[in-house]
Each structure stands twice: as C-alpha cells, then as structure tokens.
Amino acid sequence: MLRRPRRNRKSEVIRNMTEETTLSLKDMIFPMFLVDGRNKKVEVSSMPGIYRFSIDLMLKEIESCMKLGIMAFDVFPAYPESLKDTKATQSYNPETFYLKALREIKRTFPELCLMSDVAMDPYISDGHDGLVKDGKILNDETLEILARMSLAQAEAGVDILGPSDMMDGRVGYIRGVLDENGFSETSIMSYTAKYSSAFYGPFRDALDSAPKFGDKKTYQMNPANSQEALIEADLDMEEGADFLMVKPALAYLDIIKLLSENYPLPIAAYNVSGEFSMIKAAGEKGWLDSDRAMLESLLSIKRSGAKIILTYFAKEFAIRET
C-alpha cells in the first residue's frame, strides 16, 4: 500500500499538525438572558448551567467571562407578561430594563462586543415576531417597530444588532433608519436563514416567549428547503447586512456550507438552545460524554464554514481552555 492515511494519525503531534479546523474563543459569541430587578440568578430549567440574570449579576458574570477570554455577548431580555402588549411598545421605551442594561454593559465594558436581539417576541402578548392582525403576521407594519427598537438599541451603544424576526426587507429598512440617524457604524448580523425549528424549545422557556397561537412557519423557513437560503442571503447582501447567520446550526450544516461558499461575508451559526440542551441532558444521564460531544459539535459547525459561533457552550469551552 502506497497510501496509508493512518500515518498522518499516528501521534498526537502529527494529528495536531494535520488538524484543519481549530476552535477559538475569538470566534464565539455568548448568548445571555436578562431579567428585570436586582440580585437575580435563576437557572433555566431546560438549560443546565444557563441562567437568567438581573443586570447587577449579569455585569459580574460578564466580567468573569471576559477574564476567561470571552469578548462578545448577545443579550436577550425576558419580559414579564404584565409588560407585554400587542405592539411591543416596551421594545423602544428608553427606560425599559433591557435598554438600560445594554447601556450599562457597554458603559462598564466598552471593549467588549455587545450584540442585541431585534424581534417583537419578547415584548408582544401573543409571542410572535411581528404585529398580528386577524391571526396573520403583518410584514411591512412590523418593519417600523423593528426599526424603532433597532434605533433604541443602537442609541444604547450596541455594536451588532441581530434581527431575528425573519420579516421581509427588515435589514434594508433598519440600515436606512440607522444611517439617517447617525448610526452608520452600528453593524447588522442578519438571521439570514432562520428555520422554523423544534430546537428553539428551551430558549422559549427561558424567555416565556412561545407563540400563544399557531407557529412561526409563515416567516421562519421550511427545514426542507435550501434554495430559499440563497434568496435570503442575496437580499441580506443587497440590503447591507454585515454578517449572515444560519440558525439552528447542527441540523443545517449544509446551509452553512452553502452560504460560506457563495457569499463573501462572514458566516455566523447559532448553536441553539435545543442543540445545547440535548447534549447536556444526555451527558447528565451518562449516555454520552458531554464535553467531547460539545467539542465535536462546535468543530463540525466551524468545519462546515461558519466563522462565528453563537453558543451557550462558550463559557464551558473557555473554562476548559484555561
């Protein structure tokens, strides 16, 4: 045999030398959940090791993550039912706890990269990502609200806005409003190919944001499709997105590859709540080695073409690096 591929696997040093993909904390964004109040740190029951923090404790958590080398955070707010309404008005109230917290985070740690979520679901009484009328999700009317919340978040000092709503035309609309108001430096990471997925379950527990009727299939993508991802990516390119995101990650590695091979923008992948919780749950049961499963999943996401990974594993990964 002339070709013996095993020769390149024969020692750790050679395996390391021939390794094509490496994980780096520099490529990771840590999603975090914020609640109103003080001194609160409550574990999300379906996400072991992941908490909802009030701002005082979130600042401490961010500080300890930064000491471990995590420099990018994506903060999601969990609103009580009492503050939700049909038009998501809290989303652009400058005195709402989410916007106050974003301001405080950026003021305390100007060097970190702060990402925020742009969508109506945390603030809207029916749990959808857009305005609802007669059981339908309105597109163009929603854009105006998304733009108002984007502007409020940009004013709070956010570095990257993350429109996660999947309304048509939102990236261009938001870009226009940002630029008109002097926020040409605020970036947009578009949730470009966001699929209608069962893997968001634990996240909706964390935020109490599950839709109150129906599902999100008229705006989130059909898991059976890949061509549509190209249309979405074309539009986001034209509309001025700075990053393209695929979400979820693991069941959509082909989509990550497709976009990374066809678009020059950095591709991000969201390793979502369900993908995290599956590994954690199986690990707790002793059914698999969750640490190795974590590394293997993250590697596969990177190998498929993602430059950036949003992952609840970021802190765990950081701890094992030190």
- Applying CB under 6 A, the residues found at the interface with ligand PBG are 117, 119, 121, 129, 164-165, 200, 203-204, 216, 272-273
**CB-based contacts of 274: which residues, under 8 Å, 6+ apart?**
197, 198, 199, 200, 201, 202, 203, 248
Evaluated on CA atoms 297, 306, 224, 262, the torsion sign reads negative
Instruction: Closer to ligand PBG by CB, 187 or 209: give it.
Output: 209
- Active-site positions? 194, 247
Beta bridge partners of 106: none
Q: Report the residue number, 72 or 108, with the smaller CB distance to ligand PBG.
A: 72
The tokens describing 310, both together, are: 């949003």
Task: Please identify, using beta-carbon distances, which residue of 56 and 251 lies nearer to ligand PBG.
Answer: 251
Residue 11 or 218 with smaller CB distance to ligand PBG: 218
Angle between helices 55-67 and 314-321 (to 10 degrees): 40
CB of 237 to ligand PBG, least distance (A): 22
CB of residue 68 vs ligand PBG: minimum separation in angstroms? Answer: 21
The distance of closest approach from Cβ of residue 227 to ligand PBG in the complex, given in angstroms and rounded to an integer, is 21
Give the dihedral sign, CA 222/225/231/237.
positive
Least spacing, CB of residue 39 vs ligand PBG, in Å: 25
| C-beta closer to ligand PBG: residue 51 or 56 | 51
Cβ neighbour number for residue 245 with a 10 Å cutoff: 26
- CA trace torsion 18, 24, 26, 29 (10° rounding): 140
Q: Which residue type is seen at 67?
A: K
CA distances in angstroms from 84 to 136, 143, 209, 267, 273, listed in the order given: 19, 18, 10, 33, 23
Tell me the closest approach of the beta carbon of residue 76 to ligand PBG, in angstroms: 7
Q: Would you state the structure tokens that stand for residue 51, as one six-digit string?
A: 């908490």
What is the helix (H) or strand (E) element at residue 257, kind and residue range?
A: helix 253-262
> Smaller CB distance to ligand PBG: residue 181 or 300?
300
Q: Which of 52, 51, 50, 48 is nearest to 284 (CA)?
A: 48
Helix (H) or strand (E) holding 52: strand 47-53
Q: Quickly count: other Cβ atoms within 10 Å of residue 90's Cβ.
A: 20
Residue with the shortest CB distance to ligand PBG? 203
Q: Cis peptide before 163, with omega less than 30 degrees from 0?
A: no
Rounded to a whole number of angstroms, the minimum distance from the CB of residue 103 to ligand PBG is 21
- How many CB atoms are located within 10 Å of the residue 22 CB? 9
